[in-house]
């Protein structure tokens, strides 16, 4: 189940997959997909199922069908490292869609920009639009609300006993929202909310506001 929120009078739909849709701009925001990480793990002997390589593309297609965005903006770390099997899958996926795709470059994005430009993908270090600043790394920009990735935010929830549960989350502070990592096997960095922060945990099926 999605969760609708407002930021500076703009609507944002937070999806259980970890993406956010901005209807006023017809933009789907996705952070830290880390394509190629599954193939990287398999190459180094990790017992990761081969079918996991297609999971990110399946989820992206489901988001496309649900929101029908004009733009898909990847907030950095689209690929985990150098080109491998999943680049071929990515090329096929790009050829199959009619959305305009943009990449805000992250620290893991070492594949040549020319490769993306050949596929019709626009590359930017950052984007400012309608009072919002889209980046990979968390950034403070006077007069703008920052939407970013990089951190892979998560929250640790404790039960009445000693049990605990770690979940990825959207982490919103007064002037920033950090998106969870979209990709499989990316891990989470446990956040420590301060007064006024809002935490939206994701379970894969719903987005939940954590008080």
> Averaged in consecutive runs of 10 residues, what is the pLDDT profile of the chain (211 residues)?
97 98 98 78 50 84 98 94 79 97 93 94 97 97 96 87 85 97 85 95 93 74
**pTM of model > 0.95:** no
Please give the C-alpha separations between residue 81 and each of 37, 93, 172, in angstroms, as whole numbers. 8, 19, 28
Which pLDDT score, from 0 to 100, does residue 1 have? 94
Helices 85-96/55-67 angle, 10° precision: 20
Collapsed DSSP state (helix, strand, coil) of residue 158? strand
Which pLDDT score, from 0 to 100, does residue 39 have? 52
* Distance from the Cα of residue 67 to its chain's centroid: 15
CA gap 110, 107 in Å, rounded: 7
Task: Give the structural domain span for 23.
Answer: 3-210
Q: Provide the token pair at 79.
A: 């690929």
Given the DSSP bridges, would you call strands 164-173 and 176-178 parallel, antiparallel or unpaired?
antiparallel
Residue 113 maps to which CATH number? 3.60.21
CA gap 209, 55 in Å, rounded: 26
For the chain, how many structural domains are there in total? Answer: 1
């Amino acid at each position: 189940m999605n969760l609708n929120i407002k930021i500076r009078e703009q609507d944002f739909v937070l999806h259980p997959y970890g993406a956010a849709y901005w209807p006023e701009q017809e933009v789907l925001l996705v952070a830290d997909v880390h394509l190629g990480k599954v193939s990287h793990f398999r190459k180094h002997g990790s017992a990761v199922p081969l079918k996991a390589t297609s999971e990110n593309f399946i989820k992206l297609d489901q988001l496309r069908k649900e929101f029908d965005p004009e733009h898909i903006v990847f907030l950095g770390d689209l690929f985990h490292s150098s080109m491998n099997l999943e680049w071929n899958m990515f090329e096929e996926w790009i050829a199959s869609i009619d959305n305009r795709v943009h990449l805000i470059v992250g620290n893991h994005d070492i594949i040549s920009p020319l490769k993306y430009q050949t596929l019709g993908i626009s590359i930017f270090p950052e984007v400012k639009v309608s009072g919002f600043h889209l980046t990979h790394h968390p950034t403070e920009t006077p007069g703008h609300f920052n939407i970013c990735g990089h951190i892979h935010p998560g929250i640790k929830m404790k039960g009445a006993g000693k049990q605990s549960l770690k979940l990825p989350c959207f982490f919103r502070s007064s002037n920033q929202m950090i998106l969870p990592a979209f990709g499989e096997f990316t891990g989470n960095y446990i956040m420590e909310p301060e007064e006024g922060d809002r935490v939206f945990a994701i379970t894969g099926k719903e987005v939940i506001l954590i008080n």
